[in-house]
Amino acid sequence: MISLQKILGKDEKFFELLEGSAEAARTSAQALVELVQQIEQGKVAEAIDMCVLHRRKDKRITEEITELLCKTFVTPLEREDIEELSHALSRIPKTVNKVADRLLIAPELIVGSEWPKSQVAILEQSTAVIVEMVKELRRNTNLEKIRDLNTRLQQLEGKADKLLLDFLREAYRNQHGQKEAVLMMSICDLMEKAVDRCRDAGNVVFQIVLKNS
């Protein structure tokens, strides 16, 4: 027979897993920052392995959350909310990993360019906000704090959009070759999409807190 204490004791486990998923998103962004730095220095990129590692780690966490939901009768948040947040968080390192793959196709294209540094910096900041937001779920934080953090995410997403437009203008003026322009555009677009993933996860957290406030 399963004891009530054993069931309720899994509350903390859900928070731990969600926080672990958020941390995997942040560390994958940090690995991307390192990858860009290595490319600038002309070194063989090893950070791609870290991006893949964090993606695999997050995938294991997502699977564990799904399994735990199947085994737990009482959850600290609504099941649908846990599933939605887990899914939103898992999409961040997945997109970051795609960015890293594209960067290594032709790393010479970004050497000396400022836009990849600026975009990965925004991504890293966004994942840091996500970590803070997810940790607040355990603390039963007030709505205003989550609202402020979510507003910060929206501002970062707006900056990422602006950088994408700035890159398009620069690419048009410099008249890159067709192949180079297509690849650089795909990289820039994926970076902006990774920030969008952070915004999406932040919106889920905000909705959860709003629902339970």
pLDDT in tens, 203-212: 999 999 988 8
Residue of 174, 23, 186, 41 lying closest to 101 (CA atoms): 186
pLDDT at 8: 42
- Count of domains observed in the chain: 1
Residues of the chain with pLDDT under 50: 1-9
CATH number for the domain spanning 38: value is 1.20.58.220
Across the chain, which distance is largest between two alpha carbons, in Å?
71
Residue 92, domain extent: 4-212
In this structure, how many other beta carbons lie within 10 angstroms of the beta carbon of residue 22? Answer: 28
CB 123 within 8 A of CB 195: yes
For the chain, the distance separating the N- and C-terminal CA atoms, rounded to the nearest angstrom, is 34
Supply the pLDDT for residue 149: 95
Amino acid residing at 210: L
pLDDT for position 47:
61
pTM metric for this prediction: 0.85
Q: Sign of dihedral through CA atoms 32, 37, 42, 46?
A: negative
Per 3-state DSSP, what percentage of the chain is helix, strand, and coil (rounded to 5)? 85, 0, 15
